[in-house]
Amino acid sequence: MESSPHSPGTSVEMPPSADLTADSAVIQELEAVLEHHFARPELLRHALTHSSLAHERDSTEPERQDNETLEFLGDAVVGMVAAEYVYRHYPDLSEGALTRLRGALVSRRHLAEVAEGLNLGKYLLLGRGEERSGGRMKTALLANTMEAIIGAVYLDAGLETVRNLIDARVIAPIVGALREQLNAGGGMGDFKSALQELLQASRQLQPQYRTTGETGPDHGKRFFVEVRAGGESMAEGEGRTRKHAEQDAARRAIDKLQIPGPPE
């Protein structure tokens, strides 16, 4: 995921943040997004607290913990769950292929896209400097927060609950298309290239991408893209940039190509 460039000295207006320190309704809103009610909501606040805020306090304020240790834990948990998933579901793959597949599932880019889909940027607790620099849309920060959330859910409810979250949000939406890329020998996670190779193999026309719309203010746009081949629509995608929306459309098209038709 990419953040939009801004010239030096330009003031960037950011979307309002959710006040998780005061508003229990916001906690409930995020819990609904995650489909998990925290028995210990302080773990959720901890997972969303960036170091820029943890270190930005005066002597009258209580000390805050940043989310770096939860990020460390979540990284290990998501890696283990992804490894177990590909081991169980793809027993025909070699160790090297399993490693590539797991790596794509837990990559920084993919985890940031998962965080973006959950709108985690809205809920981050950032320091003033990080807020001004567009921290809510930074790929590394979003990926780190996703890992911290996973670590928090693991501590709050255990392995089975966090496995359900990882399966639903991290693995299931992308693993089929990644497996097809592995078969085709293409770059893992580059769905546009994988779709092009699939269409070339079946002697179809080249995919073409068309922006069909965009919504939101400049600092929070969503782009909508359609991919077509041979004059027919294959799939539609969306994302924070046109490139992300094109990748999403290509991923959805690959998923459709892998669905077998009805028996003759």
Name the residue ranges covered by the structural domains of the chain: 24-173, 177-257
Q: What is the CATH number of domain 177-257?
A: 3.30.160.20
Q: Which two tokens stand for residue 126?
A: 């950032």
With a threshold of 0.75, does the pTM exceed it?
A: no
Q: Does residue 25 contact residue 8 with C-beta atoms inside 8 Å?
A: no
pLDDT digits (tens, 9 = 90+) for 218-228: 666 788 999 99
In terms of DSSP bridges, do strands 208-215 and 222-229 run parallel, antiparallel, or are they unpaired? antiparallel
Q: Looking at residue 15, what is its pLDDT? A: 41
Listed residue (171, 162, 173, 194) closest to 102, CA to CA: 171
The reply to whether 24-173 and 177-257 are identical in fold is: no
Angstrom distances, CA of residue 199 to CA of 47, 163, 195, 237: 42, 34, 6, 18
Catalytic residues, by residue number, are: 75, 147
228 class by beta-carbon count within 10 Å (0-12 exposed, 13-18 middle, 19+ buried) = middle
Can you tell me the distance from the alpha carbon of 222 to that of 214, in angstroms, rounded to the nearest whole number?
5
Q: Looking at residue 62, what is its pLDDT? A: 53
Q: Which CATH superfamily is domain 24-173 in?
A: Ribonuclease III domain (1.10.1520.10)
pLDDT digits (tens, 9 = 90+) for 105-141: 999 889 998 998 898 988 988 878 777 777 788 888 8
